[in-house]
Structure 1
Amino acid sequence: MINLRPVTISDVKDILRIHYAAVHGLATSTFYSQNVLESWSPSPTNERRLKQFHQAIQDNTEIIMVAESTETGIIMGFGSVVPSQQELRAVYVDPTFARRGVGTKIITSLEELAVHHGAHKLHLDASLNAESFYCRHGYSIVERAIHRLNSGIDMECIKMSKELHLH
């Protein structure tokens, strides 16, 4: 079983570990160069990254949810949304727990939270390897584009969007 809950400061190391594992996993590395992967997700112990996540949690500008196993308490994935900007930031699942409905549970929850906070639509810059996941969840391709990482390195992405409706 999967429990979804808001992120806490004590989850940051797990989130960075999951982000690194997901980004550097086999599926992603077939689409992007090592240079892009390292820029997108540096080491999970990178101090700047730790500070960024701590700041995001404290600022409360984006809603970050974690999915944890009800049996073990292990964090299996996370996602974030910024309702005020109608932006889905991310859905990442630890490759160990891939294809078990974790990502679906996260994205469904984030969409419901976005609607609850007044968003009627969500947009995102999806990585090439995640295109099919977002398409399966009702997102449409707007255009193929370039996403500039914080490091200044460009990576190919797919701009996608979805109209949100109350269920």
Structure 2
Amino acid sequence: MSTITTRLATFNDIPELQKLIALSVRGLSTGYYNQQQIESAIKYIFGVDTQLVTDGTYYVAEIDSVTVGCGGWSKRNTLYGGDQHKEIEDPLLNPEHDAARIRAFFVHPDYARRGVGSYIMKVCETAAQNNGFKSLQLGATLPGVPLYEVMGYNAMENIDQPMPDGVVLPLVKMFKVL
């Protein structure tokens, strides 16, 4: 396999990333979520959070100039969800006592389990640490939990996230000390 590279996402990347996110969720969530949960989550929760793009903390992963994944970290309070999942700009976190957030990780199904997610994770962890954060927190999808556990994250609590159509999406809040 060719080398994985990352670059900061731009607003021009958003349409392609939205397609990647839907492909990722549909391709990698089967067996963890039912079809109704998958489609509702794509509509109401999963997507690009443009605040991460604005903050310069969201990355595009590429192999041979092909977009194969995306993910980021945040110095803001929101734990998960794209623009459609929040209504206001997030307040900033204090690195002295708050955990940075790991956010919006998605890998193209054709490139799953090839190191793309862990590569982006290392980029994000390093960036958060370079910005003074001593710990990280994330809201994991069920298919993401195994990756995050291997990366040293520990489950804190299970979250049942209700969506506007009445469907509930199980997530796991996880934590890691850097």
Shared fold (TM-score greater than 0.5)? yes
TM-score by length of 2: 0.76
Q: Cα distance, 1:148 vs. partner? A: 4.2
Distance 1:5 1:91 in 2: 14
Q: CA RMSD for the aligned pairs?
A: 2.3
Q: Which moved more, 1:32-41 or 1:134-143?
A: 32-41
> Which structure has the highest helix share of the two?
1
- Distance in 2 between residues matched to 1:23 and 1:75, nearest whole Å: 16
Written as runs of structure 1 = structure 2, the 5 A alignment for 1:1-167 is 1-25=3-27, 27-42=28-43, 53=48, 55-56=50-51, 60-61=54-55, 63-69=57-63, 71=64, 73-85=65-77, 86-149=100-163, 153-164=167-178
CA distance in 2, matches of 1:122, 1:152: 30
Instruction: Give runs of ≥4 in structure 1 deviating > 6 Å.
Output: none
Would the alpha carbon gap of residues 136 and 84 (structure 1) be closer, same or farther in structure 2, given more than 3 Å must change?
Answer: same
Q: Percent identity?
A: 28
TM-score normalised by the chain length of structure 1: 0.80
- Partner of 2:124, secondary structure, is helix
5+ long unaligned stretches in structure 1: 43-48
Distance apart, 1:126 and its partner CA: 0.7
Counterpart amino acid of 1:82?
Answer: S
1:45 match: none
1:54 Cα deviation after fit: 7.7
In the alignment, structure 2 segments of 5+ residues that lack a partner are 78-99
* Cα displacement string for residues 127-153 of structure 1 (whole angstroms, at most 9, x for unaligned residues): 112111100000011122223457674
